[in-house]
């Protein structure tokens, strides 16, 4: 499975951005997809995860109420809608895929290249 993350950019506090993770390859829709982020000087952290049929979703406490995750299997794309952005959300955002959902980055087999989100105050 190949993953391509996009949608990052420069935002101001309170703005919204939508990240996309386009998957290609055999049976891409059979993989759970997670979003992780890594800020400068910090470890990669879990943001959100969605299972194959969208019946199970998870969000980190830090983004609950502001971010939502969804997927369109017809387009092999997973979305991360980010609302009420804060400067602390500034990071490179990565999508990743595996069989079965997990909040741990080490569990994931496939990774996209990352997309930078910068939120200014």
Answer whether residue 26 shows pLDDT above 80: no
According to the model, what pLDDT value does residue 27 have?
79
pLDDT at 69 over 90: yes
What was the pLDDT predicted at 28? 81
Within 13 A of 92's CA, how many CA atoms are on the CB side?
12
What does the block give as tokens for 47? 């943001």
Per-residue pLDDT tens digits for 54-64:
999 999 999 99
The token pair at 43 is 């470890």
Indicate whether 79 pLDDT > 90: yes
Residue 4: which pLDDT band, with cuts at 50, 70 and 90?
very high
CA distances (Å), origin 105, targets 20, 21, 28, 50, 85? 18, 16, 19, 14, 23
């Amino acid at each position: 499975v190949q993953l391509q993350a996009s949608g990052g950019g420069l935002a101001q506090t309170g703005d919204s951005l939508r990240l996309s993770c386009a998957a290609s390859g055999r049976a891409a829709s059979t993989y759970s997809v997670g979003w992780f982020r890594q800020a400068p000087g910090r470890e990669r952290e879990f943001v959100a995860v969605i299972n194959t049929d969208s019946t199970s979703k998870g969000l980190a406490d830090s983004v609950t109420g502001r971010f939502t995750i969804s997927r369109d299997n017809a387009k092999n794309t997973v979305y991360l809608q980010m609302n009420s952005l804060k400067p602390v959300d500034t990071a490179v955002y990565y999508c990743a895929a595996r069989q079965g959902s997990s909040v741990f980055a080490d569990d994931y087999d496939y990774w996209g290249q990352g997309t930078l989100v910068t939120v200014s105050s």
